[in-house]
Amino acid sequence: MSLQALQDALTAAGLAGEWVARSEPASIDVGKGAYVLALELVRRLNLDFSKFTGSTLEPGWYVYLGSARGPGGLAARLQRHFRADKKLHWHIDRLTTEAAQLGGLVVPGGHECALRETLQQRPEFELALPGFGSTDCRRCPSHLLRLRPC
């Protein structure tokens, strides 16, 4: 599975937005709103924190739906996700620090739960891990989806 396959799946879902690559400076002002963080795991990841201890994530492409409505907006948030050296704060930090590839689609004015609903209705995506990334959300079973292997 390639990055292109993932981007095609996002396009097929109707998510048109600006793609921010890890190698690009994220200083461009892309506003505030929601984003799709795409990450690739190239080896199985055994989780060892909180309620996910004992769970594993298989190699493949994953998408995490998040939002950035504070100072710095989407650009600053994606830049943080892309950084390899950071204090582990969110669950997703355990994945981004292991990812072989990272990228993001920004959706200014969007909402992460609406993005999750849109993508989960698509055949290309499936729920990755119940409860992951949605601790503060009453609407979603998880904010982490996996691109189904073909």
The answer to whether residue 21 forms part of the interface with Zn ion (CB under 5 A) is no
Of 15 and 26, which CB lies nearer to Zn ion in the complex structure? 15
Report which DSSP code applies to 144: E
Bridge partner residues of 37 (DSSP): 64, 104
Report which DSSP code applies to 149: P
Interface segment toward Zn ion; rule CB under 5 A; list 5-13, 79-87, 93-101, 138-146: 138-146
Structure tokens at 12: 């097929």
The 3-state DSSP class for residue 8 equals helix
Structure tokens at 39: 């990450």
Interface segment toward Zn ion; rule CB under 5 A; list 34-42, 51-59, 121-129, 130-138: 130-138
Restricted to residues 89-118, the positions that interact with Zn ion (CB under 5 A) are 113
Closest separation in Å from C-beta 112 to Zn ion: 6
The answer to whether residue 140 forms part of the interface with Zn ion (CB under 5 A) is yes
What is the total count of residues that contact Zn ion (CB under 5 A)? Answer: 4
Query: For residue 75, is it left (φ>0), alpha (ψ between -120 and 50) or beta?
Result: alpha
The answer to whether residue 127 forms part of the interface with Zn ion (CB under 5 A) is no
Give the Cα separation of 73 and 75 in Å (integer).
6
Restricted to residues 23-42, the positions that interact with Zn ion (CB under 5 A) are none
Residues that bind Zn ion (CB under 5 A): 113, 137, 139-140
